[in-house]
Amino acid sequence: MQSEDKSVWYFYLIPIIWGLGFTLTHNAVRNIDPGKFAFFRQLVALLCLLPFAFSYLKKISKQVILWSIIISLCNTSNILCQAYALTQINSTQIAFYVTLNIIFVPFFAYLLKIWVFDLIEVIAVIIGVISLVINYQGDLQGIGSGDIFGLVSSISIALSIVTTQKMLQSIKAEKVLMTFLSIFWSTCFLLCFLFTNSVNAASEYNAQAIFAILFQGAISTAFAYYIQLRYQQRVGATNAALILNLDLAFASFFGFLNHEIITITQLISGLVAFLASVFKGLVKHFFIKASR
C-alpha cells in the first residue's frame, strides 16, 4: 500500500510540471520564435532520452520507423501549435484546448476502425462540446488565431493517441524506443525553423527563454515520461487519466501567479472540459465501487 501511495504522489508531479510548462512557454515565446522554441525543446528532450534508448536502437525495423514518423507528425503539430497559440492566448486557455482532445478521439478512432460504440464516451464528447459553447459564449466571431492553434493542438493530440493505439495493435515496439524516435523525427522536422529570420534576434535567447526550453525538454518531456513509464502500472489507467488531466487546474494556478488575466468564462468552460475528460473514468470508478 505504501508503494502504491508513493507512486500516486510521484504521478501528481506530471500535471504540476505540465501546468508550469504552459506558463513558462507563454513567457518565453514573447521573444523567441515559437518554431525555434519547439525545435530546441525537442532537441533537449532527445539528448536526455538518448542514454535510455541507446540499447534499444538495434531493435529498429522498417515498421517501427514508419509508425514513429506518423506519430511524430502528430506530436510535432501539437508542440508547434501550442507554442504559437501561447503567443496569443494564456496558459489556462491552451490547457483548456489540450483537455478537449476527448472530443476528437472517438471520431479518429472510428475512422481507424479501433472504436467500439460507447455511450459514456458519447456523453463525454457532448460535455466537451458544451464547454466549447461556454468558452465562445455562442459567438464564433471571437475566435482568434490563438484559438485556432489551440484547436489544432487538441486535434493533433487526439490523432497521436489514436495512432499510438493503432500502432500497439499492429506491431510490438519498445515504448522507450518509439518515444525516442518520435522526438528524433520531430527535431528533424523542426530544424527548418532555425533558418527563419527574427526581428529581435539578439534578445531571443535570453535567460527566460533558455530556462523554458530546458524545463520543457528535460522536465516536461523526458522526466515526465520517465515517471509515467515507471509508475503508471501501479497507479492504474483510470487514476492516471484523472491525475494527468489536472494539468488544466495547475495551468490556471500558475497563470494566475504569472499575472495572466483569467476570466470567469474561462474558469467555467475549463471546469466543464475537465469534467468531459474525466467523465468516463469517474463513471467506471463509480460502477466498480458499487459492484463490490
List the chain residues with pLDDT less than 70: 1-5, 115, 117, 138-142, 197-203, 232-233, 235-242, 285, 288-292
Total number of domains in the chain: 1
Task: Please give the Cα distance from 245 to 231 (Å, whole number).
Answer: 16
Q: What is the per-residue burial (b if ≥16 Cβ within 10 Å, else e) of 118-135?
A: eeebeebbebbeebbebb
CB-based contact 31:208 (threshold 8 Å): yes
Cell of 248: 488544466
Task: Please give the Cα distance from 191 to 154 (Å, whole number).
Answer: 23
Cell of 75: 506530436
Q: What is the pLDDT of residue 200?
A: 57
Residue 165 DSSP label: H
SS3 label, residue 257: helix
For 253, residues 6+ apart whose C-beta sits below 8 A from its C-beta are 19
Task: Please give the Cα distance from 8 to 242 (Å, whole number).
Answer: 11
Q: What is the pLDDT of residue 124?
A: 82
Q: Which amino acid is at 267?
A: L
Q: What is the pLDDT of residue 233?
A: 65
At what angle are helices 34-53 and 207-214 packed, to 10 degrees?
40
CB-based contact 126:273 (threshold 8 Å): no
Residue 34: half-sphere exposure toward Cβ, Cα within 13 Å: 19
CA torsion 185-112-277-152 (nearest 10°) is: 50
Question: Domain residues for 150?
Answer: 2-291
How far CA 149 is from CA of 14, 155, 185, in Å, comes to: 23, 10, 21
Task: Please give the Cα distance from 120 to 126 (Å, whole number).
Answer: 10
How far CA 235 is from CA of 125, 176, 228, 243, in Å, comes to: 25, 19, 9, 10
Of 137, 97, 167, the residue nearest 265 (C-alpha):
137
Q: What is the per-residue burial (b if ≥16 Cβ within 10 Å, else e) of 70-88?
A: bbbbbbbbbbbbbbbbbbb
Q: What is the pLDDT of residue 141?
A: 65
Q: Tens of pLDDT along 196-249?
A: 766 555 567 788 899 999 999 999 988 888 887 777 667 665 566 667 778 888
For 156, residues 6+ apart whose C-beta sits below 8 A from its C-beta are 74, 75, 77, 78, 81
